[in-house]
Amino acid sequence: MRTFYGLGIAALSLLPAMAQAQDLASVYKDKEVSFIIGSDPGGSFDPYARALASHMPNHIPGRPHIVVRFGGGQGGGIQSAIQLHNTAARDGMTMGMLQQTIVLNQVLQPQFAKYDAREWYWLGNMAAIRNMLALWSTAPAQTIEEAKKTEVIIGATGKASPTFIVPDTMNKFLGTKFKMVMGYKGAADLNLAMQRGEIQGRGASWLSVQLAMPQEIIDGKIKPIVFAAITREPSQPNVPTLAELMTDPLHKRAAEFLSAESDYGRSVMLPPGVPADRAKMMRAAFEATMKDANFLAEAKKLRITIEPISGDVLAQITKQIAETPSEVLDLVK
Specify the pLDDT at position 1: 46
> What was the pLDDT predicted at 304?
93
Question: pLDDT above 70 covers what percent of the chain?
Answer: 93
Per-residue pLDDT reduced to its tens digit, 196-254 = 999 999 999 998 999 899 999 999 999 999 999 888 898 999 999 999 999 999 999 99
Query: Quick check: do 27-127+265-332 and 131-261 share a fold?
Result: yes
CB 54: neighbour CB atoms within 10 A? 15
**What pLDDT digit, counting tens, does each position of 26-72 carry?**
999 999 999 999 998 888 899 999 999 999 999 999 999 999 999 88
Q: pLDDT at position 13, please? A: 52
Q: Which of 71-75, 98-102, 149-153, 169-173 has the lowest mean pLDDT?
A: 71-75
The helix (H) or strand (E) run that includes residue 79 is: helix 78-86
Scored b (16 or more CB within 10 A) or e, 20-40 reads eeeebeebbeeeebbbbbbbb
Strand-pair partners of 33: 66
> How high does pLDDT run on average in the chain?
91
Evaluate whether 38 touches 77 at the Cβ level (below 8 Å).
Answer: yes
- Partners of 65 in the β-ladder: 32
- Fold (CATH) for 131-261: D-Maltodextrin-Binding Protein; domain 2 (3.40.190)
> Pick the residue with more confidence: 218 or 330?
218
- For the domain spanning 27-127+265-332, the CATH number is 3.40.190.150
pLDDT at res. 12: 52
67-98 per-position pLDDT tens digit: 999 988 777 788 999 999 999 999 999 999 99
Is it the case that residue 15 has pLDDT exceeding 60? no
Domain ranges (residues) in the chain: 27-127+265-332, 131-261
Q: What is the mean pLDDT of residues 299-316?
A: 94
Quick one: CA torsion of 251, 166, 223, 195, rounded to 10 degrees?
Answer: -160
